[in-house]
Amino acid sequence: MARIKPIQKLGWFSTGRDKAARDLLTVAQRSIALGEIRAEIAFVFCNREPGESKQSDLFHRLVKSYGLPLITFSSSNFKAEREEGWRPAYDSEVMKRLKEFDADLSVLAGYMLIVGEEMCRKYDMINLHPAAPGGPKGSWQEVIWQLIETKAKETGVMMHLVTPQLDEGPPVAYCTFSIRGEPFDRYWREIDGQSLEEIKQSQGENNRLFKLIRKHGLAREFPLIIATLKTFSRGKVRIRKGKVVGADGRKIKGYNLTREINKLLKKG
């Protein structure tokens, strides 16, 4: 099989709702400037328009400071005008606004909308999910509670292909880590014999095991996103006809970046 071509242009989708959205764009731009990610951001799309939120306004300002093309289109205003059936119609309008831009790969970087089928067919898009391949689905909170309930031994973080079914897309790249041994075991012992509901009612997200799992997962999120984009830009992995393929063009079950992420964490 012919070797795949590295990506050269990235699309960046974000709601820009918090500091994390700005930090991720900053980290990506820095990695591009250093030549670690051998690609450029072709456009940034935000589903909030100027004046909707102080946080998104700060995000817009950051995008412009990098000289990146910024396209804004308010999903909130569009929904208020349409109500019934607004999501497919909104995606169609977004694609019209992006038709002059090319991207080999698009990244959902804090984009708070579920992408519809039409947009999934048009763009190769990847998104972060706070679990390893085959792990729990849902928000990061739901993932952690499921890990505790099932007394899991391992978890991770992955970038996956975006599909209309939430968190169902195939893994693109991932890393894993153990949630047993030190420093986890002492906190597993603290909840021994308690039901999940008892833990939620007595401590909720302040539970020490819950917080520790979140801390270790969060530490890997930014490094995994950047490492994934580096991998794409160096021709080690690509999306082809809805499938994840390796450098030789053959289908793979995700690119395991655990070793690379662990090295980055040790350096940091």
Check if the beta carbon of residue 244 is closer than 8 Å to that of residue 161.
yes
In the prediction, which pLDDT does 3 show?
A: 65
Q: What is the pLDDT of residues 84-99, one digit of tens each?
A: 889 899 999 999 999 9
Q: What is the CATH number of domain 1-123?
A: 3.40.50.170
Q: What is the pLDDT of residues 163-180, one digit of tens each?
A: 877 667 899 999 999 999
Check if the beta carbon of residue 256 is closer than 8 Å to that of residue 133.
no
In the prediction, which pLDDT does 89 show?
A: 94
Q: What is d(CA 217, CA 15) in angstroms, rounded to the nearest whole number?
A: 22
Q: Mean pLDDT in the chain?
A: 93
In the prediction, which pLDDT does 166 show?
A: 66
In the prediction, which pLDDT does 108 show?
A: 95
How large a percentage of the chain has pLDDT more than 90?
A: 81
User: Amino acid letter at 254?
Assistant: G
In the prediction, which pLDDT does 242 show?
A: 83
Q: How far is CA 133 from the centre of its chain?
A: 14
Q: Which residues contact 205 (CB under 8 A, 6 or more apart)?
A: 141, 211
Using pLDDT thresholds of 50, 70 and 90, give the confidence band for residue 267: confident
The whole model's pTM is what?
0.90
- pLDDT, mean of residues 238-250: 88
In the prediction, which pLDDT does 42 show?
A: 97
Q: Rounded to a whole number, what is the largest CA-CA distance in the chain? A: 59
- pLDDT of residue 5 exceeding 60, the answer is yes
Q: What is d(CA 231, CA 196) in angstroms, rounded to the nearest whole number?
A: 39
In the prediction, which pLDDT does 138 show?
A: 86
Q: What is the pLDDT of residues 39-85, one digit of tens each?
A: 999 999 999 999 999 999 999 999 999 999 999 999 999 999 887 88
Q: What is the pLDDT of residues 139-160, one digit of tens each?
A: 899 999 999 999 999 999 999 9
Residue ranges of domains in the chain:
1-123, 128-268
- pLDDT, mean of residues 211-220: 96
